[in-house]
Amino acid sequence: MSRLRARRSVWVPCGVLAVLLAVIAGVAFGPVSLPPAGVAAELLNLIPGVHLESGLGEREIALVTQLRLPRVVLGLLVGSLLALAGGCYQGAFRNPLADPYLLGVAAGAGLGVTALITLRGQAGATLMSDLPLGTPLAAFAGAIVAVVLTYALAVGGRDRSPTALILSGVAVSAFLAAGQTFLLQRNADAIREVYSWLLGRLSTAGWHDVVLILPYAVPTAAFLLLHRRDLDVLSVGDDEAASLGLRPERLRYLLVTAASLATAAVVSVSGLIAFVGIIVPHLVRLLLGASYRTILPASMLAGGAFLVLTDLVARTAAAPAEIPIGVITAFLGAPFFALVLRAGRRPTW
């Protein structure tokens, strides 16, 4: 218990330090490596009123601010939102296997992108594919439609328990995945392009992807963080939560809706990056205990740093080629669960 209290007392500075180190590493290293000290100085120069000598040339400064930094910031946003949504799902459903894709977000986004790519040439699909953000729009629309279908199926039945919502998500995911498979079967030439998106990526040519998800990231993250104490109440059971004045069913739907919206926004710009929403909350719970007052904010910091470093591995491990980041997170996810189970350190729920 004393060790747990000690870790809880230092998790904020440790988390912030991890994020800062991940940002510097993500910007400094790549096919062309830059001195970390110079990168740190140039990043500080972005603060109004700060003027430090970084020793970097104009091209290197452009590489830092216009190419690598947007990608690193996107990785921070994607990783933090996936980890936050995963922690929220696990708390709302009291299920250690719950992840941000539970209600069909992944299947819906995948079908949306697959439809856009395979039906390209037809009037509607051509019009959307010609838009500057055609693929993110298709992914976001597909993810939202999947969540709406899941809610409609769950609410329309007599059983409105968390289990019913989970089963509705499984059914909707299977249905949408079948539609995606059908489209790919009839358009085999598009398989490579579709799977390059499905495996996840953080490639961006500028700040537009960051700007695209900020309107969804900020309000949903704020909403979930403001209700993290309510997740602690939900974790003891619906009857106990109701006796304390909460409306468990309504609260659960609100929290899951906010988490799903954040996940849909993330998926629209990054593709499907698996395991982040499971690995990071699990690790935080093992280190800092089962209180969601700590789990959610700590998961955001850890998730952002984790994905930035994972993206660094994806960019450099097979340089000049780039490994899909979803492959890296999958390689890390399975051994993580094996180690947890072997050590017998199951989280407290």
Q: Over its length of 349 residues, how does the chain's per-residue pLDDT go in tens digits?
A: 677 777 778 899 999 999 999 999 999 998 889 999 999 999 999 998 888 888 899 999 999 999 999 999 999 999 999 999 999 999 999 887 788 999 999 999 999 999 988 887 554 444 444 444 678 889 999 999 999 999 999 887 666 678 888 899 999 999 999 999 999 998 888 888 888 888 888 876 678 889 989 999 999 999 999 999 999 998 888 888 888 888 888 899 999 999 999 999 999 999 999 889 998 998 899 899 889 999 999 999 999 999 999 999 999 988 888 899 989 998 888 787 777 666 655 544 4
Would you give the DSSP letter of residue 346? P
Domains of the chain and CATH, by start: 2-343 (1.10.3470.10)
| Cβ–Cβ under 8 Å, residues 228 and 292 | yes
Lookup: tokens for 32: 């062309």
pTM for the structure as a whole: 0.92
| Cβ–Cβ under 8 Å, residues 202 and 74 | yes
List alpha helices for 134-247, DSSP H.
134-156, 162-186, 191-198, 208-226, 228-234, 238-243
- Collapsed DSSP state (helix, strand, coil) of residue 12: helix
Residue showing tokens 């921070």: 76
Q: Which amino acid is at 236?
A: V
Cis peptide before 335 (omega within 30 of 0): no
